[in-house]
Structure 1
Amino acid sequence: MITIYHNPRCSKSRQGLGILEESGKDFEIIKYLDDPLSEKDLAILIKKLEIAPIDLVRTNEAIWKEKYKGKQLTDDEIIKAMMNYPKLIERPIIVSEKGAVIGRPPENIQSIL
């Protein structure tokens, strides 16, 4: 099963959803702003993406700039920041049996379909 972690207000996330719809494959949508991810869920996603936690953060978001910019944070602190402020999570994230990718650019999604 394919899963997309989706923010309907984000144009790239909507493009990613469109790619999944066009693929004809079954998928599940998780609107992570409505149903925030746990610390464990975020850690699992980061491991599947094979990235550092900071690479999943939208560092241009106002919340990041106001609360975290310039601070030396541990990976756990970065994960907690994303858990407390889900808007900080880069999107969309697509997970399939073939792996996981951040759909920026949306063409990245093709690699795991």
Structure 2
Amino acid sequence: MTVQIFHNPRCSKSRETLALLNTHNINAEIVEYLKDTPSIETLQRIIKQLGFDSARQLMRTKEDLYKELALKEQHDETALVLAMHQHPKLIERPIVLHNDRAAIGRPPEAVLALFP
């Protein structure tokens, strides 16, 4: 069983999601995405696994950086993915990947749908 969590240890939802996985004896590889920035290809794969129509759905649109970069006006999907790659703080968290599926832990219990 391959499980990864894109984790920010400073984020309470991310910590809660990791604790929930541990409670259910689900061992996840922890990817601290702020230190180990996901590639453009990885971000595109995650967007597809989440079933999102737009990269914007994976973005933290309330971040000051989102506003500073004027991303609300950006409609080019490649540019949105590139912005997340260059500024991983813009990536919504936590993201749990299991095989070919993904879920965002907001609320943390949402990730349990990935597991039978």
Q: Which amino acid aligns with 2:88?
A: P
Query: Does the 8 A contact of 2:71 with 2:80 survive in 1?
Result: no
Query: Does the 8 A contact of 1:37 with 1:83 survive in 2?
Result: yes
**3-state DSSP class of the match of 1:104?**
coil
* 1:1-113 pair list within 5 angstroms: 1-51=2-52, 52-97=54-99, 99-113=101-115
Gaps of 5+ in 1: none
- What TM-score do you get using the length of structure 2 for normalisation? 0.92
Q: Which amino acid aligns with 2:12?
A: S
Structure 1 stretches of 4+ moved >2 Å: none
**Cα separation, 2, equivalents of 1:10 and 1:35:** 16
**Cα separation, 1, equivalents of 2:57 and 2:21:** 23
Q: CA RMSD, aligned part only?
A: 1.2
**Cα separation, 1, equivalents of 2:71 and 2:77:** 14
- Give 1:70 shift: 3.7
- Give 1:98 shift: 6.4
Q: Which amino acid aligns with 1:111?
A: A
**Cα separation, 2, equivalents of 1:66 and 1:76:** 18
Query: Does the 8 A contact of 1:93 with 1:102 survive in 2?
Result: yes
Gaps of 5+ in 2: none
Report the identity percentage: 41
**Cα separation, 2, equivalents of 1:98 and 1:44:** 9
Q: Which amino acid aligns with 1:67?
A: L
**3-state DSSP class of the match of 1:32?**
coil
Query: Does the 8 A contact of 2:66 with 2:90 survive in 1?
Result: yes
